[in-house]
Amino acid sequence: MAGIEPSTQVAAKQRLLEMDRKHLWHHMSVHNEDPMIFVSGEGCWLTDIDGNRYFDAMSGLWCVNIGHGRTEVAQAASKQMEQLAYSPLSHSHIPAIELAAKISEWLGGEYRIFFSNSGSDANEVAFKIARQYFDQTGQPNRFKFISRHRAYHGNSMGALGATGQAQRKIKYEPLGSGFQHVPPPYCYRCPFGKSQESCKLECADIFDQVIVWEAPETVAGVILEPVITGGGMIVPPPGYLKKVKDICEKHGVLLIVDEVICGFGRSGEKFGHQNFGVQPDIVTMAKGMTSAYSPLSATAVRAELYESFHERSGTGHFRHVNTFGGNPVSCAVALKTMEILEEERLIQASAELGRRLSERLSALSAHRAVGDIRTFGFAAGIELVEDKETKRPASAENVAKVIESCKQRGLLIGKNGDTVAGYANVLTLSPPFVTTMEEVDWMASTLEFALNTISF
């Protein structure tokens, strides 16, 4: 709104706020009476309607990995809109073909790619494919899925059933059936009472126990993120994911890896499971695939599983359709995003920035309010406590105070919300990969200042 008289700007903002209050339902909150209204973004920075600039340390919702304001992405979308704006994937189109091939290349295996709109959609597709695959290969009783407490896999009824966050489920249950949960690999608050020295990966062995207790012939899949992100940046100990994969293979259970956040460079590799040296049976993805410039998600399925869906009559084919899934424009945006990630070496940058962030945040571990700091690639979680010895979670008031202090200094950070009652105490960072080393240092300094505003 540059060049407009201040009084006119104030009036225009008030009109927008009145319309917002009257018509708009905000996500994940009671109605926000005074929301920030953003009008532009460039690189890592957002500008609000008042001209204030903020560093977007959450990449929106863990998704704007290549940064805001990429004209080349807008041009790719515009060109595709002019050429072919829409065609359903009951047929085919060139952007979807090229993108499916590119995703398979990045996964390092032969996969078949089913496109949808969001991470929730991608996980719903994974569950349906897994159940149908077992039915069509003579194991119709395999319908159960094992997930982890604290994990998030989506808002739709099946994906929310897989989600291990109790607060998100209140007033929506009963949800999709057949979902069991095990404790997370939460080293700071080990559910098994172990220390780093006494740990024998009980958090991985529990999958073996639960599969046996549920009866292996009834279990279709295990779904997990490489790192539990939105549930508090819970990073597993070394060897965990490999052991879970071995357990799945032992029982003939499919391993579904949710890469909605960890994928497309966030981990410092193309996909988060590659940090741990495992090859999933099914991979779900969204967010960073288009850097949020357009809605798109995908479910990648090992080619061998796909073979059971070749029947051309009856119910042997996958009877699932998504009107906008694999939209040509979104596929073109994804292809351009992946091109940028490769040509600008932004995945390597993510790894380097992540190391710098980890180093700079480590200095905060001595702060009286910091219980634990967990990093994975270019993402971090800072768990706040009221008492280091008892690990009593920081109050909602103190968490909000830190976030507000950061905001006042131009830094937008996140936290784990609507997870487990009393445990929304983990600050989260997930900046764009175009962040500079100087901005990493500034983020750490700003967080240190904000932590010092807490009083006990």
Q: Can you give the residue ranges of every domain in the chain? A: 36-66+346-451, 71-343
Q: What is the pLDDT of residue 137?
A: 95
- The CATH number of the structural domain formed by 71-343 is 3.40.640.10
Q: Write the pLDDT tens digit of every residue in 226-245.
A: 999 999 999 999 999 999 99
Give the pLDDT mean for 386-403. Answer: 96
Percent of the chain at pLDDT > 90 equals: 93
Give the pLDDT mean for 44-71. Answer: 98
Give the pLDDT mean for 447-453. Answer: 95
Q: What is the pLDDT of residue 311?
A: 77
For 225, phi and psi rounded to 5 degrees? -85, 150
- pLDDT bin (cut points 50, 70, 90) of residue 168 is very high
Query: Could you identify the residue written with the tokens 């390092």?
Result: 108
- State the average pLDDT for the chain: 96
Between helix 328-343 and helix 94-107 the angle, nearest 10°, is 40
User: 46: which 2 tokens?
Assistant: 């957002």
- pLDDT bin (cut points 50, 70, 90) of residue 5 is low
Q: Is the pLDDT of residue 156 over 80?
A: yes
Q: Is the pLDDT of residue 263 over 90?
A: yes
Give the pLDDT mean for 194-203. Answer: 96
Q: Write the pLDDT tens digit of every residue in 67-112.
A: 999 999 999 999 999 999 999 999 999 999 999 999 999 999 999 9
- pLDDT bin (cut points 50, 70, 90) of residue 437 is very high
Q: What is the pLDDT of residue 1?
A: 53
Cα 205 from chain centroid?
25
User: 131 or 6, which is more confident?
Assistant: 131
Percent of the chain at pLDDT > 70 equals: 98
User: 34 or 100, which is more confident?
Assistant: 100
pTM of the complete model: 0.96
Query: Could you identify the residue written with the tokens 């780093």?
Result: 196
Give the pLDDT mean for 373-393. Answer: 97
Q: Is the pLDDT of residue 28 over 90?
A: no
**Identical topology for domains 36-66+346-451 and 71-343:** no
- pLDDT bin (cut points 50, 70, 90) of residue 2 is low
Assigned superfamily of 36-66+346-451 = Aspartate Aminotransferase, domain 1 (3.90.1150.10)
Q: What is the pLDDT of residue 301?
A: 98
* Three-class SS of the chain: CCCCCHHHHHHHHHHHHHHHHHHCCCCCCCCCCCCCCEEEEEECEEEECCCCEEEECCHHHHCCCCCECCHHHHHHHHHHHHHCCCCCCCCCCHHHHHHHHHHHHHHCCCEEEEEECCHHHHHHHHHHHHHHHHHHCCCCCCCEEEEECCCCCCCCHHHHHHCCCHHHHCCCCCCCCCEEEECCCCHHHCCCCCCCCCCCCHHHHHHHHHHHHHCHHHEEEEEECCCECCCCCECCCCCHHHHHHHHHHHHCCEEEEECCCCCCCCCCCCCHHHHCCCCCCEEEECHHHCCCCCCCEEEEEEHHHHHHHCCCCCCCCCCCCCCCCCCHHHHHHHHHHHHHHHHCCHHHHHHHHHHHHHHHHHHHHHCCCEEEEEECCCCEEEEEEEECCCCEECCHHHHHHHHHHHHHCCEECEECCCCCCCCCCEEEECCCCCCCHHHHHHHHHHHHHHHCCCCC
